[in-house]
Structure 1
Amino acid sequence: MQNRKLWNIGLLILICAMLLVGLQRIKETGREATAPGPLEAAEFQLAALYSMGQAVTSNPFQLTLKWQGEWSSLLSPEEAAGVLASRLGLPSPKAGSVQGRAVYEAKGHIEGFPAELELTNLAEGTHYAMLRLEAVGGKEAALERLQEAQRIAGESLADEGVQTDWNAAVQGVAWPAVAANGETNSGEAKLTVTFDKLEAKINQIPKLKLKQAEEFADEQTASRTYVVDAFPIAVQSGGHRVALQLAVHRNSGIGMDEITIGTPLLTVEY
């Protein structure tokens, strides 16, 4: 009788353990099922970046986004560039050369936005494709159209087999350059005041909380890199998975602070 009780207790413990394992697998599967794909992640991140541009400047801002990556293809560079340009609805590419490499460029429009395709041959059977879209931001209607253009471009490149990565940036003049509080008048101290204003405005956007990971500064220019848990597209930098970079350049000629915001990192001049 005692043995039977012990056996029943052991069976109950085993069943409970199996249930716990099953629940954990269900949770993990659910997380995998809800994880956004590259197109959805880029759409979400573009909308967040657009909101940042609206938050830090009252003026229209310049927005640049890119899909870029390697493409394995047996086509010649000229043929490969032609295939991508045709798929994207761009004119026939023109041949050029950059640092001794053949580069094919096609310029046109996608959904009304200026678009530029570049294809570079890396090695036999391997090319590198980059599609750049530009827009002037400010109104919500422009964001919706840009998201559609981004989706069409991303889908087209992926369907052809390009292993694309995504990044984007906004640039604009935020506000008149401010003086630093306290006794010091150094350029770095003044830029710190600007960064504090930037971070405060961005942190007001729902679901966006910046966690500073890295920083660089000199007299006229400074940048900070952040971890943003809400952003699915990120890159590893040091010991952090960063997803946003802010840069401020003090333009002494016009007395304004020029702001650049990139995600996951800045890939444009600032």
Structure 2
Amino acid sequence: MLKTMLNNGTKKRTLFILLFLCCTVALLINFQSAKAKSIVLDEVASQASVTAELNGSLMSLIDLGTKTTVSGSPLRIVLKWQGAISGYNDPSVEVAKLSIHLGLTVPSGIEEEGHMTYRSTAVKPYGSNLSLFWSDLGEGNSYVIVTLDTSDLQNEASFQGFADEVSTILEQNNIKAEWNVSLQGIAEQQGGPEEVLSQTEGLLIEQFKAVSEKESYKDVTTISRTYSIPDLKRSVVSGNHSISAQIAVHHEDQKGTNRLTIGFPLITIEY
């Protein structure tokens, strides 16, 4: 009888241990699953935040440009994403994957200054152009620039929607890219460049709170200023300043007009 009781005790302990192990494994699985879901949700939230940030800045820039340029005149917009990608084995495979996702022809690589580079361009709806530049830096590292531009904005919603799509594609392809956008047109006010800049600056101050001038440049035909604007979340560091916006006005002597360029956070095209 004693032997039977001992055997029963051993079986109960074994069952208890097995039950404990099963519960522990189940808890670990649930924990890892919850952690994975949390990471995915954080990534989705981060991407949504970046997209919302870009959308808000783009809408504000178009609104500002529309108010300060000649009605009906061409409104040029250049939107750039620049970022790094690493940890791959074959750059041509990554280039092909990104090109296909962006709706571009898969480019062949050419060697430039010791690096393999890839370029592809396509015309998109409403006269927009999309281009890809990929530079392989070696050892599984590359630098990528994607540009969406239009020489005359015809459809704001279409341009903005495609910008959202590009941002999502870059994120999905593990490219952590920073964006910047520039707008250019013929200034409605045709006095001196400084007058045009002051008028545009006044509208910028109306549109945002706490606009503060940081840097300036001036020559015979051109004037430029940069600003810190807390309401614009995207900024870059220039010297000791955090820059969120730049305005430049260039007087074209032959045409007798002023070319106005506005950039968030900086102008990245010729002004």
TM-score using structure 2 length: 0.76
Residues 145-186 of structure 1 deviation map (CA, whole Å, 9 limit, x = unaligned)? 1111111111111111001101000011113641xxxxxxxx
Name 1:67's counterpart in structure 2: 81
Return the structure number with greater helix share: 2
Name 1:158's counterpart in structure 2: 171
Residues 45-75 of structure 1 deviation map (CA, whole Å, 9 limit, x = unaligned)? 1111111110111223100101110011323
CA contact (8 A) 2:224 2:249 kept: yes
Change (3 A) 1:135 1:229: same
- Which one has a bigger Cα radius of gyration? 2
Name 2:148's counterpart in structure 1: 133
CA contact (8 A) 2:76 2:153 kept: no
Change (3 A) 1:96 1:133: same
Change (3 A) 1:34 1:267: closer
Q: Which runs of 5+ in 2 are unaligned?
A: 1-44
Name 2:245's counterpart in structure 1: 244
- Please state if 1:54 is matched with 2:54: no
The residue identity in structure 1 corresponding to 2:263 is: G
**Which SS does the other structure have where 2:98 is aligned?**
helix
Distance in 1 between the 2:140 and 2:78 partners?
29
Distance in 1 between the 2:87 and 2:182 partners?
30
**Which SS does the other structure have where 1:197 is aligned?**
helix
Residues 62-112 of structure 1 deviation map (CA, whole Å, 9 limit, x = unaligned)? 001011100113232322211110111211114344444321011124565
**Which SS does the other structure have where 2:233 is aligned?**
coil
Name 1:191's counterpart in structure 2: 193
CA contact (8 A) 2:68 2:189 kept: no
Identity %: 26
- Please state if 1:108 is matched with 2:137: no
- Cα RMSD (Å) of the superposition? 2.3
Q: CA shift at 1:217, angstroms? A: 0.8
Distance in 2 between the 1:208 and 1:55 partners?
18
Name 2:94's counterpart in structure 1: 80
Name 2:56's counterpart in structure 1: 44
Distance in 2 between the 1:90 and 1:60 partners?
26
Distance in 2 between the 1:111 and 1:209 partners?
38
Q: CA shift at 1:252, angstroms? A: 0.6
- The partner residue of 2:135 within 116, 120, 133 is 120
Aligned length: 224
Name 1:89's counterpart in structure 2: 103
Distance in 1 between the 2:47 and 2:233 partners?
8
Distance in 2 between the 1:224 and 1:97 partners?
38
CA contact (8 A) 1:110 1:149 kept: no
Q: CA shift at 1:195, angstroms? A: 1.4
Q: CA shift at 1:35, angstroms? A: 11
- Please state if 1:143 is matched with 2:156: yes
TM-score using structure 1 length: 0.76
Residues 176-209 of structure 1 deviation map (CA, whole Å, 9 limit, x = unaligned)? 641xxxxxxxxxxx4322211221233333x355
Change (3 A) 1:169 1:98: farther
Name 2:6's counterpart in structure 1: none
The residue identity in structure 1 corresponding to 2:140 is: G
